[in-house]
């Protein structure tokens, strides 16, 4: 019988632990997101991980349970819009724990609401001085894009209809940038541009759409 045995000493924590939330997106419009977890260790058999912070059911590390290590995991963010801070820790098969890795993501489920003022006249023609209508609009949240469109119905969404052009002098029919909430944007619609977007006489449904930084377009 042998008078010796081998015993491995391992005091090294998992190396190169990484965390990505929805592929490092800045915003999410849904509380359910995908966490991608990485580790530089060649073998992760027996490894575990825990996730806490802005995660439903685990506000603190003490509330988070160790689960089997996985490269991807579906997690649910805590209720309420705003910045969520998500923490990750990985431990190996003998309990060595990595440093905490932290990532942030902003949950924004709000749908922008647009308010249009005007038009200053209800009927226009292509005759000079009778050919322009003016409106202004505001949004209840900051936004990054807008477009003024002729649409088939008042319930139409942003992918329906045609953006009114500006070849004939219409102004502020679309734009991208950083627009603060409640600050009016003034627009003018020239009859020739309206006709180009929607041929023929008759009543036209014109709708303003805005998109916030999270990528959500207005609806109503």
pLDDT value at 27 more than 90 = yes
Q: What is the pLDDT of residue 94?
A: 98
Q: What is the pLDDT of residues 193-209, one digit of tens each?
A: 999 999 999 999 999 99
- How large is the average pLDDT for residues 12-35? 97
Residue 73 has what pLDDT?
98
Closest-CA residue to 15 (of 45, 46, 50, 42): 42
State the pLDDT confidence band at 136, using cuts at 50, 70 and 90: very high
Architecture of the CATH domain 114-211: Sandwich (2.60)
Asked whether the predicted pLDDT for residue 78 surpasses 90, the reply is yes
Handedness of CA 199, 204, 205, 210 (dihedral sign): positive
Task: Name the one residue in this structure whose structure tokens are 């009927």.
Answer: 123
Q: Could you give the CA distance from residue 96 to residue 194 in angstroms, rounded to a whole number?
A: 68
For the chain, what percentages of helix, strand and coil (3-state, to nearest 5) are there?
5, 40, 55
Predicted pLDDT of residue 146: 98
CA-wise closest residue to 191 among 212, 165, 172: 165
Q: Which residue has the tokens 């490269």?
A: 71
- 205 Cβ neighbours under 8 A, 6+ residues apart: 150, 151, 152, 153, 154, 156
What secondary structure, in 3-state letters, does 51-96 show? EEECECCECCHHHCCCEECCCEEEEEECCCCEEEEEEEEEECCCCC
Q: Which of 91, 85, 94 is nearest to 39 (CA)?
A: 91
pTM here? Answer: 0.82
- The pLDDT score that the predictor gives to residue 177 is 98
**Class for domain 18-107, per CATH?**
mainly beta
* DSSP class of 44: -
Q: Has residue 1 got a pLDDT over 90?
A: no
Using the predicted structure, report yes or no on whether residue 188 has a pLDDT greater than 90: yes
**pLDDT in the model for residue 220:** 81
pLDDT tens for 86-113 read 999 999 999 999 999 999 999 999 999 9
Domain boundaries, the chain: 18-107, 114-211
pLDDT at 189: 98
């Amino acid at each position: 019988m042998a008078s010796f045995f081998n015993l491995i000493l391992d005091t090294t924590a998992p190396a190169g632990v990484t965390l990505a939330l929805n592929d490092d997106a800045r915003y999410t419009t849904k509380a359910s997101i995908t966490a991608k977890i990485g580790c530089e260790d060649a073998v992760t058999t027996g490894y575990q991980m825990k996730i806490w912070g802005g995660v439903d059911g685990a506000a603190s590390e003490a509330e988070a349970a160790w689960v089997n290590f996985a490269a991807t995991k579906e997690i649910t963010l805590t209720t309420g819009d705003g910045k969520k801070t998500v923490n990750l820790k990985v431990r190996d098969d003998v309990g060595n724990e990595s440093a905490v890795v932290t990532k942030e993501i902003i949950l924004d489920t709000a749908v922008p609401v647009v308010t249009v003022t005007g038009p200053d006249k209800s009927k226009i023609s292509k005759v000079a001085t009778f050919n322009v209508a003016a409106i202004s609009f505001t949004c209840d949240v900051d936004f990054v894009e807008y477009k003024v469109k002729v649409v088939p119905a008042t319930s139409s969404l942003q992918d329906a209809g045609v953006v009114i052009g500006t070849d004939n002098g219409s102004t502020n029919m679309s734009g991208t940038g950083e627009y603060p909430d409640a600050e009016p944007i003034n627009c003018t619609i020239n009859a020739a541009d309206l006709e180009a977007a929607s041929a023929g006489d008759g009543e036209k449904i014109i709708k303003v759409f805005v998109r916030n930084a999270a990528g959500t377009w207005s609806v109503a």
